[in-house]
Structure 1
């Protein structure tokens, strides 16, 4: 009986188990194991949160960005990571869900921002710092990283002056502070190492702008670019921060992934614009009109274009001289990896860009970058080594007049070449034909080699104290050889010219040591950060410029030993020493109130012993008022609110070396010396007093972020050459003028999340700058040579003009107002002040992503006025079609004439209000379209990520300006319109 009862009991237990299993069977059928990978579009994201919505169940992605989670088919995943937009994804019976997170520009409160000697966040920063990341930099087909900043930052003005690759742009951060153009360069810092921002001299085609020292950086190797603008951000750099600081951080080795990344693109570039000029029929009509008005008869000497040249010939000289196509190629490869405590990244790139000018010329760049990260097992010792090496070579035709020739050559001018391919010089007695390709055989080859290296050592002394040392070294060497054979010129002049060459060499090398001690600790409800450091910097630069001529044959040009005469125009070596002590104290109280104090004492060898040292510093503060209790009820609308402000003094020592000394040179006769420079040991640093007030707000859970800043910078103690009377024997002496330049302005930055859904993301970024530059003070300016250049209360970038007074009815020529009524026209009658600076400028950037497709496009807008390109009244040379208006009865142009009187009137009117033109423009600066290749297909062939992309640069320009480029007024090569396409693969 007992056994029977036992068997019955087991049968009941077994039956119950079967019953419960039948109940559970439909539930387990609804459970899924969902797996996938979370990336940022390139690299996997380790530590991303994957959560089942409305539950506490979740997991974290591993080092490869992968996750596994058990969920129901009806569940929804929430995937989030700091600094990225949170995604909400319904499972819908899927077992594999790969996710790409988009960086959330409207929620970057915790993203680390490089502030130079320390890091901060967008939420906690007290200073004005603007950031551009790799995503915006690497997708542009450009040479210099500075070009990537155009239109993307408030308060940062970058002007690309021509379309020659590698030429240095003009960069101004919150305006022009110094009366000297060379005194307005910002400070460049690459991976903690200062790099000279002065353009490299070029005596070839780029001599008007120089060569950008940042050319040899690989754009694909840049992680981010931060621009420091106000005193709070720049005062820690002391005398070097007066004009702002540009911090460039290159990519580092990462523990996220080991792998290989390849990026390749190819494209082409064309001139972005051509002018509308006269055709042959129209040109001949204008030329005949000139002779008819002057009552003269055309002859072979005064009208060879009408008598000797073919009247039925037409050449579009713009198409001939800069209408070519530039072919662009770019290859980037990088490898990263490591394990445990050591990681590395090694990258290299090659960039080649042709020219739209005649001839087989090109720009080439090769770069390499290495980063090694190492941390000891106890996490106390840290090492970070960064090496960047680059070589660029610019091989261009050395003919600066090509563009002006393209705009002024008569359309019926002869062919440039003879039937045998040689230059056509013609042999007519009266023809002044100057072949525009004069200099075809002249070559300019400029090469630059750059090394930027830094070893950063850190050691955690305690939980609160960190010792850190930067050991940096930079070297930049450049050389240029310009060869000018006789056959580049008219054979008529061969007896007066010889085979010539110009040789220039420039070398800059610098080392820097910066030991620092950082302290961090919690004090009450606040957090204290402190830093103290010392800077030792030593720089040596030398420059050599030589002219050589009289080579026996063309094949020997460049070999100085074969030249008949060699002259060293410049041969100098300069040593620059800079020492400083700097400190910072930052306090964060209750994550609502922030205070930042910075100070620096600088010493520079560019000043005499009396003024060698100076002190600089700043105070900055911020209040996050949205964290106050009285604001909690408004958090549904105002999600973030911060007031911040700063005041401080920065300085500048951007002057020549040894300017405080008496200098002498040897006389031609042996044994003699003569003075070349007067001593002034008492001139001192320029000072820039910076004041800023700003408000940053976030609305509707930060879907809208708005920042408004007002700034005022006053630069005084101007370092210039002070004019001296001629009886002293010197034209000037280095001194501090009691002049003050003021820059004020408003900056607005707006970021919006327009659409944020599971599959569609649309973000818009807008920046607007309204600057004002003013010469605030200049005592006794009337007694200096600057009286004809500047005006108190007006910007530095002005032009003094005559007041245009219409057409003289008696002569038919232009007439100006005699302002002082003394019966003559001179500089005293130039009473109209034209501000040639920007009234305001803005950028509008949109980023749209739908599934695997993304589109980004940037519009740049500039409001400005300047003088339009003039044209002479009736002499030989082509004109814009506007000149046809002279044939109408009602015209604003003077009559066509070749008389002396007409030319005098023309020379005056080009400096009058008549030639003021609105040169504002709206430009589609860049547009990028990309498509992420299906992950399933890529994974089958061993590729982690794959992307196709199409990029365009300077695609559309809307402007009323009739010249070539409203950004670079004058006869400069216009910026190129480029289109490129490429492929990126991550293994």
Structure 2
């Protein structure tokens, strides 16, 4: 699409001999869009099956057992064929190429529960307990090569590759599973006093044997005040008011598989005896057998209101603390391994959320709108390393490659960390008179502030340049 928008409008699609035309102007990045589409032989095909089956049995009055299983299967083919072409001086291909990939995804989710539900006068109780077993498998197989013996996309197969040395093949397989036990009890009295208790224990194959399982409890309460007789006549335009509070924990295991183990990669080749290439293996990732679940603990207090039959409002105050953050810990390049995954620290998010809404109806026409406001404060409470810093993205600064963002205790996570500037050097005389601590400074360079006035620009002069998190957001 970009080529179609930017190409010279007087360029021809095809010339008199039937060949694809090239842009009249020498714009290397812009090519004939019709030619590009013609030579683009990149096809995906996906077959997908989703199936769900359940059975339910009433054991006795108020007690039933249910089991269900869900299957999600997908198989994808990805075929790429590149003929010989030249669309511009840089957009060209001098060898026929073929690339084929086959991938499959297969997951199952099996859940079994026993449920008790009963009403005793003005009391209602609902209790459920169960187990869930989830498995996920992914497999990949690919092959490629160049210089096909017979050209044409209908002959784009690996067996048709003429250049034997260009042939390559690869494949991967990974699998993960989660086993959970859970229980929940909901209680209400007079449909105005409500309480709920939940406990679940989850085990993930992504953690080592010592930390595979973790327990996550939660509780919540609610009170519909507008149902109280002593308040019904005193609420004015308020037709509904509910106050609620909750506290709970949940876990996160959203990392790659086998991060608690060291891994071996076989992508290192060495040339022996003038042409004999031998494939080798080496450690690629540092093990962390102590890796464990990331746990978020949140307290929430809120109120829900309805004004008349059209307006409604919700207000929430929350305090969320996430401990044992799952992050990749940076390591020096000379280690020669990928960064290990670690439990990096604790971060807090607390703030408020407010929603104002309106729903209306006129005959068969309904309408409505919402306005929401939220404010959040983010702060790093703990960092689990001796340096007390979690480094983020890398940037090029006045003294080489530096991290653009970091996290420190007492600061927002990922705040911008850099050198403060104080204008631009206007001329050489200004540089000479300033006693500049910037080596090789020239007119037009930024003036960096030497925070500790030691005459050297280094990490000790870097400060918090800004919070990446907004003070508040407003939407509709």
Pair in the same fold by TM > 0.5: yes
Evaluate the alpha carbon distance shift between residue 533 and residue 559 of structure 1 in structure 2; reply closer, same or farther with a 3 A threshold: same
CA distance in structure 1 between the aligned counterparts of 2:101 and 2:447, rounded to whole angstroms? 46
Which of 203, 206, 220 in structure 2 is aligned with 1:603? 203
Evaluate the alpha carbon distance shift between residue 699 and residue 476 of structure 1 in structure 2; reply closer, same or farther with a 3 A threshold: same
Q: How many angstroms does 1:768 deviate by?
A: 3.2
CA distance in structure 2 between the aligned counterparts of 1:796 and 1:552, rounded to whole angstroms? 56
CA distance in structure 2 between the aligned counterparts of 1:605 and 1:721, rounded to whole angstroms? 18
- Residue matched to 1:687: 295
Larger Rg: 1
State the Cα deviation string for residues 295-346 of structure 1 (Å, max 9, x = none). Answer: xxxxxxxxxxxxxxxxxxxxxxxxxx54xxxxxxxxxxxxxxxxxxxxxxxx
Alignment of 1:254-265 (within 5 A): none
- Residue matched to 1:747: 353
Evaluate the alpha carbon distance shift between residue 691 and residue 784 of structure 1 in structure 2; reply closer, same or farther with a 3 A threshold: closer
- Residue matched to 2:407: 791
Q: Does residue 573 of structure 1 match 2:173?
A: yes
Evaluate the alpha carbon distance shift between residue 680 and residue 800 of structure 1 in structure 2; reply closer, same or farther with a 3 A threshold: closer
Q: Does residue 833 of structure 1 match 2:465?
A: yes
- Residue matched to 2:76: 478
- Residue matched to 1:809: 426
- Whether contact under 8 Å (1:788, 1:827) holds in the other structure is no
Which of 55, 59, 65 in structure 2 is aligned with 1:457? 55
CA distance in structure 2 between the aligned counterparts of 1:795 and 1:561, rounded to whole angstroms? 56
Secondary structure of the equivalent of 2:159? Answer: helix
Secondary structure of the equivalent of 1:776? Answer: strand
TM-score norm. by structure 1 comes to 0.40
Q: How many angstroms does 1:833 deviate by?
A: 2.7
> Any stretches of 5+ residues in structure 1 without a counterpart?
1-320, 323-356, 359-401, 845-987
Which of 674, 686, 707 in structure 1 is aligned with 2:314? 707
Which of 778, 799, 813 in structure 1 is aligned with 2:383? 778
The alignment yields a C-alpha RMSD, in angstroms, of 3.5
Q: How many angstroms does 1:541 deviate by?
A: 0.9
- Residue matched to 2:114: 517
Evaluate the alpha carbon distance shift between residue 490 and residue 735 of structure 1 in structure 2; reply closer, same or farther with a 3 A threshold: same
Q: How many angstroms does 1:595 deviate by?
A: 0.6
State the Cα deviation string for residues 214-261 of structure 1 (Å, max 9, x = none). Answer: xxxxxxxxxxxxxxxxxxxxxxxxxxxxxxxxxxxxxxxxxxxxxxxx
- Residue matched to 1:769: 374
Alignment of 1:625-664 (within 5 A): 625-664=225-264
Alignment of 1:359-398 (within 5 A): none
State the Cα deviation string for residues 870-910 of structure 1 (Å, max 9, x = none). Answer: xxxxxxxxxxxxxxxxxxxxxxxxxxxxxxxxxxxxxxxxx
- Residue matched to 2:139: 542
Secondary structure of the equivalent of 1:813? Answer: coil
- Whether contact under 8 Å (1:805, 1:814) holds in the other structure is no
- Whether contact under 8 Å (2:351, 2:374) holds in the other structure is yes
Q: Does residue 435 of structure 1 match 2:30?
A: yes
CA distance in structure 2 between the aligned counterparts of 1:727 and 1:562, rounded to whole angstroms? 42
CA distance in structure 1 between the aligned counterparts of 2:75 and 2:412, rounded to whole angstroms? 37
- Residue matched to 2:399: none
CA distance in structure 2 between the aligned counterparts of 1:479 and 1:798, rounded to whole angstroms? 42
Higher helix share: 1
Q: Does residue 716 of structure 1 match 2:332?
A: no
State the Cα deviation string for residues 811-844 of structure 1 (Å, max 9, x = none). Answer: 7735242444677877766645344445544443
- Whether contact under 8 Å (1:425, 1:434) holds in the other structure is no
- Whether contact under 8 Å (1:499, 1:553) holds in the other structure is no
Q: How many angstroms does 1:783 deviate by?
A: 6.0
- Whether contact under 8 Å (2:22, 2:31) holds in the other structure is no
Q: Which has the higher contact order (CA 8 A, sep 6+)?
A: 1
Higher strand share: 2
Secondary structure of the equivalent of 2:95? Answer: coil
- Whether contact under 8 Å (1:704, 1:750) holds in the other structure is yes
Secondary structure of the equivalent of 1:610? Answer: coil
CA distance in structure 1 between the aligned counterparts of 2:466 and 2:31, rounded to whole angstroms? 34
CA distance in structure 2 between the aligned counterparts of 1:649 and 1:465, rounded to whole angstroms? 28
Evaluate the alpha carbon distance shift between residue 813 and residue 502 of structure 1 in structure 2; reply closer, same or farther with a 3 A threshold: farther
- Whether contact under 8 Å (1:606, 1:658) holds in the other structure is yes
Evaluate the alpha carbon distance shift between residue 827 and residue 485 of structure 1 in structure 2; reply closer, same or farther with a 3 A threshold: farther
- Whether contact under 8 Å (1:725, 1:731) holds in the other structure is no
Evaluate the alpha carbon distance shift between residue 771 and residue 416 of structure 1 in structure 2; reply closer, same or farther with a 3 A threshold: farther
State the Cα deviation string for residues 344-367 of structure 1 (Å, max 9, x = none). Answer: xxxxxxxxxxxxx74xxxxxxxxx
Q: How many angstroms does 1:581 deviate by?
A: 0.7
- Whether contact under 8 Å (2:283, 2:337) holds in the other structure is no
Alignment of 1:389-408 (within 5 A): none
> Any stretches of 5+ residues in structure 2 without a counterpart?
270-276, 393-402, 428-441
TM-score norm. by structure 2 comes to 0.78
Q: How many angstroms does 1:708 deviate by?
A: 0.9
- Residue matched to 1:953: none
CA distance in structure 2 between the aligned counterparts of 1:436 and 1:812, rounded to whole angstroms? 40
Instruction: Count residues in correspondence.
Output: 432
State the Cα deviation string for residues 469-501 of structure 1 (Å, max 9, x = none). Answer: 11111112333333333315546896x842234
Which of 150, 157, 178 in structure 2 is aligned with 1:559? 157
Q: How many angstroms does 1:437 deviate by?
A: 5.0
Q: Does residue 734 of structure 1 match 2:341?
A: yes
Which of 487, 512, 517 in structure 1 is aligned with 2:85? 487
CA distance in structure 1 between the aligned counterparts of 2:72 and 2:261, rounded to whole angstroms? 28
Q: How many angstroms does 1:683 deviate by?
A: 1.0
- Whether contact under 8 Å (1:416, 1:435) holds in the other structure is no
Evaluate the alpha carbon distance shift between residue 560 and residue 800 of structure 1 in structure 2; reply closer, same or farther with a 3 A threshold: farther
CA distance in structure 2 between the aligned counterparts of 1:662 and 1:553, rounded to whole angstroms? 45
Q: How many angstroms does 1:416 deviate by?
A: 8.2
Q: How many angstroms does 1:800 deviate by?
A: 4.2
Q: Does residue 620 of structure 1 match 2:220?
A: yes
- Residue matched to 1:424: 22
CA distance in structure 2 between the aligned counterparts of 1:827 and 1:547, rounded to whole angstroms? 47
Q: How many angstroms does 1:680 deviate by?
A: 2.6
Secondary structure of the equivalent of 1:611? Answer: coil
Q: How many angstroms does 1:414 deviate by?
A: 9.3
CA distance in structure 1 between the aligned counterparts of 2:367 and 2:282, rounded to whole angstroms? 70
- Whether contact under 8 Å (1:664, 1:675) holds in the other structure is yes
Q: Does residue 677 of structure 1 match 2:285?
A: yes
More displaced 10-residue stretch of structure 1: 671-680 or 597-606: 671-680
- Whether contact under 8 Å (2:20, 2:32) holds in the other structure is no
State the Cα deviation string for residues 532-564 of structure 1 (Å, max 9, x = none). Answer: 011122221112344433334651474222232
Evaluate the alpha carbon distance shift between residue 720 and residue 508 of structure 1 in structure 2; reply closer, same or farther with a 3 A threshold: same
CA distance in structure 1 between the aligned counterparts of 2:378 and 2:45, rounded to whole angstroms? 37
- Residue matched to 2:395: none
State the Cα deviation string for residues 777-811 of structure 1 (Å, max 9, x = none). Answer: 32545566446522334544554455454454327
- Whether contact under 8 Å (2:421, 2:448) holds in the other structure is yes
